[in-house]
A and B are shown apart, each in its own frame.
Chain A
Amino acid sequence: MAKNHRHKFSIPSRYVLLALSMLCVVMMVISFATDVMSVPLNSVVGYVIVPFQKGISKAGEWLNDRTDSLNTIKDLQKENSELKAKVDELSIGMNDLQADRYELSELRELFALDERYSDYKKVGARVIGKDTGNWFSNFIIDKGANDGISVDMNVMAGSGLVGIVTEVGPNWASVKSIIDDETNLSGMVMSTSDNLIVSGDLNLMNDGNIRFSQLIDSENKVVTGDQIVTSTISDKYLPNITVGYITEIKEDSNNLTKSGYLTPVVDFKHLNTVLVITDLKQGK
């Protein structure tokens, strides 16, 4: 009886709707203007959700490893013999390279070009969750502010750029990948140092391609297969990180710029571990 009584005097649901909508709008405005809200909220979910995600992704990886190892023994044997042949081939090439490398290190010292990304400080992290929707390409990693990670740090996997940290909790961070529809970054053709804009596109995400545009190449030197790296003028991305290789290039209708597609060097479909570069472009 008492319960019914209470229900009679409860607030009508449209007022609750109004109140919660207002709350949403206020939150949107606050989080758009500042980031005061993200600190407490990110900490709370960091302790409620992230431990589970870590566990599940570890278990999943273990399962994947098991099935993979069963499937691939045969492949491995075949690959092994191929690789042995390749090792011979490469060790010959290696000698040449060693000579080159010696020369290079000398030259580099001369030019004091120590800004290669091999010198950046990096932290390894595991991917523990991916975007719940299908519109964007974000993922969660298991390192956060406690491990020295902060917003705008670059994320790599293998030898290529994966994305940039957009949000940080105490023990997790959210990374926006370069194939995401909202990503735009300033890149550079390695061979000619021409600048261009690399932008992710949802339409191309499944093919694993990204778009580039605004390439000024009046001498027609840039060709398919050229390597694209992050440019020195980007304000968030560290310079000279490999983004990918040009797969298609065409002239824009304005006859001044070129655009086309490039294939990233990172395999975004099978991303399990990444490296976060803890050096920021604009040192804070």
Chain B
Amino acid sequence: MAKVVVAPVAEMPPGSRRRIQTETRAIAVFNVGGEFFAINDRCPHGGGSLSCGVLTGLVESDGPGRYRYSRKGEILRCPWHAWEFDLRTGRSVCDPARMKVRQWPARVEPGAALAAETFPVSVEDDYVVVEA
């Protein structure tokens, strides 16, 4: 897997997202409360662009009329058919056993470590990096 520099961390604050295009695929990158997640930008159900989806929370229930809301911002809703995907696992909420979007490792690396790459980086800054 190649290392892809997405953006300087300062340009991707919590709640922001980026769509990047490598030679072979499009990837959606999200900053959720300081954690970075990268998934295929193509919904495994119908092909919608997940980087255009709504980030919401997980609604669960232990019986009719009872709502348990957690993990705000960690569930991505596809803009086409509104299927939900868990950013931490890639799995769909409605059919987790059979429907999953591919994930890619995303993290923050110092510019100094990326200096040998072919991207123009400043060694003083940190960057969001995806292994894809």
A joins B in a complex: no
Binding site for B on A (CB under 8 A): none
